[in-house]
Amino acid sequence: MSNNKKIKSALISVFSKDGLEPIVKKLNEQGVTIYSTGGTQKFINDLGIDVVPVEEITSYPSILGGRVKTLHPKVFGGILNRQDNAQDVLELKEYDIPQIDAVIVDLYPFEKTVASGASNRDIIEKIDIGGISLIRAAAKNYKDVVCVPSVNDYTEFLELISEKNSSLSEEDRKRFATKSFNVSSHYDSAIFNYFNSENQETILKISETNGKALRYGENPHQKGFFFGDFDAIFTKIHGKELSYNNLLDVDAAVNLMNEFKGEGPTFAILKHNNACGLAQRDTLHKAYLDALAGDPISAFGGILISNSEIDKDTAEEIHKLFCEVVIAPSFSKEAEAILKGKKNRILLIQKETDLPQTIVRTCLNGALVQEKDTISDSKDMLETRTDLKPSDSEIEDLLFASKICKHTKSNTIVLAKNKQLCASGTGQTSRVDALNQAIHKATSFKFDLQGAVMASDAFFPFPDCVEIADKAGIIAVIQPGGSIKDQLSIDYCNENEMAMVFTGTRHFKH
């Protein structure tokens, strides 16, 4: 599939001129006839390079304020004709249509315009019509035409025409056709999603142009890929490449710590997407030590995250632990130097950026889509359902535990005391099992549960959990409520001087 073809003519119509000058100069140097229109034509003229206005081909001016420039049979005939088809070649001669061998396009920046908060009118004007049509036509006819669909492809195209003197193979043209249909499909998906922002049509269109192959997937025998703009969220300053499992843990860590944004120094340690340690203290150093105390065994090989700058003292403690990833909004110079002491340890600076508000996951032969759980239990949501009301400090602990519970695999129970995670039961098939697991872990790490609080991600169908918790020393409970047998748990709490609050919001996480 070599089929080399020399570029003798090129149509150039682009939004971004960055990097275009060397391409134009190279094509001119190689004797290529250049066609253009509008601002691109002026740009080329200003370089002192001859350019044929598209209007000379069509004998028709640009109309409707520039909305219609290249949409003409003499343009598209020059692109779509099949050079090995005798009838096509005859019709080119009959209608005086010039052959076009290369099309260089960069579309109006629709997504950037939407992101800028522009008006609907301005956004609609940034829906490219002529450019997208040129891309599709040239890419369809890749056997005879090469299409450069984006400013992102200028450099590769320049290297190619410089190396091959503009004599490109069919493999070259097909590769650029693939890029072209990626650009056109992504562009159309962005437009559809803008129009369908209220989900009027129950249709899912996801297009992510940033992709990276990972070492492997969840296990070494599985292939894995990440699609997304990782660099928009993090600056990676040290360490090995992140794995599939690292990325899942980092995602869990970021979403969990987002609950404590703007609060006092908070540190969390996660393993397999669940927090195994979390504490909030006056200093980050103390917060880390108390988070580590939550489960020093599970912390080995974990993901660490902070809501504030990691300082020298904290870094010295972290450096004693084998951990995969450390995430923070910043690192002091001394902390960075210390933590870089392990060559594979991944250090990530988290940037201020909005996180996606939609969750998508594969299911059967399709996909499940839902809104993100953005509700965080707060004091004004709490309804005390027992005779005994929780104290202010107990309420703080209850809300602290609830935030962790929201980001822990269901069924889950979280035990906390003095803004420290004592233990959690994670991913259990019954709530009783989750509670027993949490109590066992807490006591095995020498936590005194007298005066601790309990959070549950869902209601208690029976009073067994509050009874078990009471006997372990728990004095206050937070749960969504909603069971037809809520009163049984309420009655037990009243009889045993426990406080219990309902939030009205369930936080399942599967």
DSSP H helix total and E strand total for the chain: 18, 23
Instruction: Give the catalytic positions in this structure.
Output: 140, 272
Alpha-carbon torsion (58, 61, 62, 63), positive or negative: negative
Tokens 């969750």, located at residue = 359
> Which residues are within 8 A (CB) of 13 and not within 5 positions of it... i.e. 6 or more apart?
36, 37, 38, 40, 54, 69, 70, 104, 105, 130, 131, 134
The residue whose two tokens read 């794995």 is 243
CB 305 within 8 A of CB 270: yes
Distance CA 391, CA 413 (A): 21
What type of residue sits at position 471?
Answer: K
Diameter of the chain by CA atoms?
A: 98
Rounded-to-integer distance, Cα 425 and Cα 441, Å: 8
Burial of 325 (0-12, 13-18, 19+ CB in 10 A): buried
Does residue 472 sit in helix, strand or coil? helix
Query: Which of these, 261, 472, 280, lies nearest to 376 by C-alpha position?
Result: 261
Q: Spell out a b/e string for 95-120, using b for 16 or more CB atoms within 10 Å of the CB, else e.
A: eebbbbbbbbbbbbebbebbeeeeee
Give, in degrees to the nearest 5, the angle at Cα 246 between 399 and 209.
Answer: 105
Helix (H, G, I), strand (E, B) or coil at 86: helix
| CA quadruple 190, 195, 197, 201: dihedral sign | negative
H/E segment holding residue 226: strand 225-227
Please provide residue 486's backbone torsions phi and psi, each rounded to the nearest 5 degrees: -50, -40
- The amino acid present at 258, given as its one-letter code, is N
d(CA 51, CA 45): 7
Contact 469, 460 (CB under 8 A): no
Q: CA distances (Å), 451 to each of 155, 415, 422, in order?
A: 65, 10, 12
CA gap 13, 39 in Å, rounded: 8
Token pair for residue 297? 């065994």
